[in-house]
Amino acid sequence: MTKSRLEAFTDGVVAIVLTVLVLDIKIPDPPGFQSLWGIRNTLLAYGISFIFVGVIWVNYHRVFQMADKINYRVVWANIFWLFWLTLCPSVTSWVGRNPTEFWPELSYVLVYTMWSFSFSILMKQVMRANKPDSHVVKTLTKDHRSFLSMFINICLIVGVFFIPMIGLLGRFLVSGLWLLSYRKADEYYHIFFSRKVE
């Protein structure tokens, strides 16, 4: 399978997921601010999930543009990553209707944590498929955002047991992390984990 074909397949799945996300938003009646206020939690959950999916999609393509080649391990890691992506609309819908409840928030955090985890697996497989001195390997070796994301995700899983809504709001924080350049994320990584910035 070619790299462009895998990217095209992934684009199709992402487009469907984003479409399903928005279909959960029911147009309120009667028209007015009070009706919109009534679905504020659904809109919040949709907005946070949409931003996260969009940000990761951009980073996904950035990595694949740098990669010279892929193999079937990359393809299957990509499929594993997409599996968790396809669960995102369901948990987003559930948490949007029940933002202060424990089980929807925990499910939301777990699914997105597994999506982050599977993304890091995908990145490692891309690195293994390319030469050690390739641009993609050099860049991903310095990119600590996957590690930082997992650290935040684990904190969110623990936090949900005490303040359920932290799961939804914490996802927004993880999205912000992926908006940073890998160099800026590397600086934060070294600051928080007491390592000297090279």
User: 95, 104 in Cβ contact below 8 A?
Assistant: yes
Q: Is 8 exposed, middle or buried (0-12, 13-18, 19+ CB in 10 A)?
A: exposed
- Mapped onto helix, strand or coil, the DSSP state of residue 148 is helix
Instruction: Report CA-CA distances (Å) from 45 to 91, 159, 173, 189.
Output: 10, 18, 13, 28
Mean pLDDT value across the chain? 89
> Which pTM value belongs to this model?
0.86
Where residue 25 falls among pLDDT bands split at 50, 70, 90? confident
How far is Cα 106 from Cα 95, in angstroms, rounded to an integer? 9
**Digit-coded pLDDT (tens) for 134-144:** 999 988 888 87
Q: How many CA atoms lie within 13 A of 196 on its CB side?
A: 1
- Torsion sign, CA atoms 105, 172, 53, 111: negative
User: 185, 144 in Cβ contact below 8 A?
Assistant: yes
Q: Could you say which DSSP state residue 29 is in? A: S
**Digit-coded pLDDT (tens) for 111-136:** 999 999 999 999 999 999 999 999 99
- Mapped onto helix, strand or coil, the DSSP state of residue 176 is helix
